[in-house]
Structure 1
């Protein structure tokens, strides 16, 4: 009896996923079009992927010095910004990312920045303190493992992950992340994936 119940639950779950593209980690055409329209000028360079992409595991350093991976942020729509303190466009967008993170607290949407350079976490921490950026946490990747794993060639680059940890969008270059468009796009993605709390 227990085996039949388990099998039935598995079959029902599979059909529910087939009928709900977001549950399968994909956006339906209507949601995709709505989000693309929301991008406006502020996020014109944001590209929604046709199919979510599995990302290889790559370790980077958490604020406390422990090893972290993107899988640690599963269960949430997560914006991951890769940057460096030596990169002028990266530095320019940090205050807007800090503001976005503050606004997203408690929504089920994560905003993290990963500095990619030698001494990354310490340099990120010092820069954030100097600039008064208190919402962001200093993640770092001194070995450049994350950019290599996800195929990033330039900074800044932002990737957006589904709650399943698959890449659903990418943007090369800086943006005004404090813009209403940025918040609207993230909230729409969270709603589409039913991740917003």
Structure 2
């Protein structure tokens, strides 16, 4: 609990609208909720698994801008935003950008697969953080939470709650990070 308090205190003290590729100037629409950090935060190097049980870490995505979306199968706002995340990955995903979806908590793979099928999601990874090790280390208290990570693996911004990640405001923010 103390770690969460320290993390949230650090987040609130380092938030600055003029940081990280001037993302603050791009905050409009749903992106008004985006907290941009003056000093990027290190991301934890804790493992999570894919649908086969193979272990992964965020370090695998170094060199790319990452939109890490922490979600759950029972989360109604997650269901609303997931198709937009899938479309964003389909259009921007590649050598420079990756949407990484991470189901946190008790979300068995069959439920994740069913959720993706019902939502029409076909381009996103089915990563899982069942014991919430990574999400706790990142101070995630509710869902969904979306974290923007720069090419060096540092958290540069965070948005708590649902957002239209395939909309023009989000694309402007992500485009600025990719161009940086």
When normalised by structure 2's length, the TM-score is 0.84
Q: State whether residues 19 and 36 of structure 2, in contact with CA within 8 Å, keep that contact through their aligned partners in structure 1.
A: no
1:45 maps to what in 2? 33
Query: Secondary structure in 2 aligned to 1:136?
Result: coil
Query: Secondary structure in 2 aligned to 1:154?
Result: coil
Q: What is the Cα-based RMSD across aligned positions, in Å? A: 1.8
Q: Deviations over 1:120-167 (max 9, x none)?
A: 443222210222211112111111111111111111001111111111
Give the whole-Å Cα distance in 1 for the aligned partners of 2:173 and 2:107. 33
Is 1:60 aligned to 2:48, yes or no? yes
Q: State whether residues 80 and 111 of structure 1, in contact with CA within 8 Å, keep that contact through their aligned partners in structure 2.
A: yes
2:84 maps to what in 1? 96
Query: Secondary structure in 2 aligned to 1:52?
Result: strand
Residue segments in structure 1 that go unaligned for 5+ positions in a row: 1-28, 193-197
1:155 maps to what in 2? 143
Give the whole-Å Cα distance in 2 for the aligned partners of 1:155 and 1:41. 19
Q: State whether residues 18 and 38 of structure 2, in contact with CA within 8 Å, keep that contact through their aligned partners in structure 1.
A: no
Deviation at 1:188, TM superposition (A): 0.5
Give the direction of change, closer, same or farther, for the CA distance of 1:164–1:120 in structure 2 (3 Å limit). Answer: farther
Structure with greater Cα Rg:
1
Give the whole-Å Cα distance in 2 for the aligned partners of 1:190 and 1:64. 30
